[in-house]
A and B are shown apart, each in its own frame.
Chain A
Amino acid sequence: MSALSLVLVALLTYASRAVSLVLLPRPNPRIEAVLARIPGPIFASLAAAMLLTDVRSFVAGPTLWAAGGALLASPARSLLGCLLGGAIGYAIGVLL
């Protein structure tokens, strides 16, 4: 890979981050209402995507146990609680 290719990749990456955040004006209220509904589903989807592998399967035990622990703690709606639940789940997964 050449330095020029790397610079192009970096420029594309920065541009993708800057287009919406820097160049676009504030969205109108209707679009803003749709955008406001996105974070929760995106967070859950990112978590789900990280539990999958390249070969149509779920990740190894301890990580799944950690996610399970965090899910059990999630009704409290506390990030710290989920991290603790995840840590306990991970420990159980390692022990099993």
Chain B
Amino acid sequence: MAIPAAAAIGAFGTIYGAAARTFLGVPLTVVSSIIVFSGSLQFTMVALLAAGAGTIPLLLAACVLNLRHLVLGAVMRPRIEARLARRALLAFFLVDETFGFSVAAGDAQPREHRGAVTERTLLATGVACYAAWIIGTVIGVLGGGLPGVERMAGAVFPVLFIGLAAMATATRSQLVRTLAAAALTIAFGLALPDWRMVAPIVAGVLVALPAGDG
């Protein structure tokens, strides 16, 4: 199931590579994908650099866009039983897609196997997505890429997250929370388009706060 996501990430990597090399140069573009590994942040960096932004706006953007990792990590923490060093390794691979796959895979298991399956899935999907992102970036900086595939890749992520949401929604209460979060995100994203990638975390936390049956 991670293969379509990794393929789509690779396709976006080619777009990033092609767009970023003008502003970062070839070596830094590749290095950025190796050490940052965050599509939304790296595309934002390119947009800011294109607008002539300096270091401070770049760091502020990184702070804002990375806020969601705090929540993803907090949700993941009770599901991970590994020791500190292994958690430190796993943390590097914590992106939206790998979070989705590992939570879904772990939650489908009996409680005693949940931690191990969550960790294995986070590592396996993390390595696959990371490799795809770097390979895509290299292809992009070298001038490669397939426009048709890149257009199709844009459709993979919403479909993937709809599927993951469906898997995580088992009760009427969860369905109400899930629909409410999506509606809140759309309202937030239409009102403040530049902040729409922060909206999922705000909406997800807000709808989870009221007590209920799940």
Bitwise interface map of A from 1 to 15 toward B, beta carbon under 8 Å scored 1, else 0: 111011111101111
> For B49, what are the chain A residues with a Cβ–Cβ distance below 8 Å?
1
Interface residues on A, range: 35 or more
CB pair B41–A13 under 8 Å, yes or no, is yes
In the assembled complex, the Cα of A38 lies from the Cα of B181 at a distance in Å of 10
CB pair B73–A52 under 8 Å, yes or no, is no
In the assembled complex, the Cα of A68 lies from the Cα of B59 at a distance in Å of 37
> For A55, what are the chain B residues with a Cβ–Cβ distance below 8 Å?
193
> For B191, what are the chain A residues with a Cβ–Cβ distance below 8 Å?
56
> For A76, what are the chain B residues with a Cβ–Cβ distance below 8 Å?
166
CB pair A48–B185 under 8 Å, yes or no, is yes
- B residues in contact (CB < 8 Å) with A: 1, 4, 23-24, 28, 31-32, 35-38, 41, 45, 49, 55, 58-59, 62-63, 66-67, 69-78, 80, 84, 87-88, 90-92, 94, 96, 100, 103-104, 107, 151-152, 154-170, 174, 177-186, 189-191, 193-194, 196-197, 199-201, 203-205, 207-209, 211-212, 214
- A residues in contact (CB < 8 Å) with B: 1-3, 5-10, 12-22, 24, 26-27, 32-56, 59, 62-63, 66-67, 69-71, 73-83, 85-87, 89-90
